Amino acid sequence: MRYPVRRFVSATVALSELSRYVKEGHSLRTGRPSKAFADMRPREMWANWLLCAAINAAEGRDDFEFTTDPTGGDGIIQDRASDSTWPTEHVYVPPVAGGQVADVEALVLAAIDAKNGKGGAAYAENKTLVVFIDAAGPWHPNRVLKQLTSSLHFDVVWLISLHAVDEGGAYDYDVVGLYWDQGNAPIWRVRIAPGFDAWSVQRAQ
Within 10 angstroms of residue 107's Cβ, the number of other Cβ atoms is: 20
Phi, psi (deg, nearest 5) at residue 73: -80, -170
Q: How far is CA 124 from CA 2, 78, 149, 150, 176, in A?
A: 21, 18, 14, 14, 19
Mean pLDDT of the chain: 93
148, exposed or middle or buried, with CB in 10 Å at 0-12, 13-18, 19+?
Answer: middle
pTM of the model: 0.95
Rounded distance, CA 48 to CA 55, Å?
10
Per-residue model confidence (pLDDT) at position 2:
64
Is 11-203 assigned to CATH 3.40.50?
Answer: no
pLDDT one-digit tens code per residue, 89-100: 999 999 988 777
CA R_g for the chain = 16
> Is 31 a residue whose pLDDT tops 90?
no
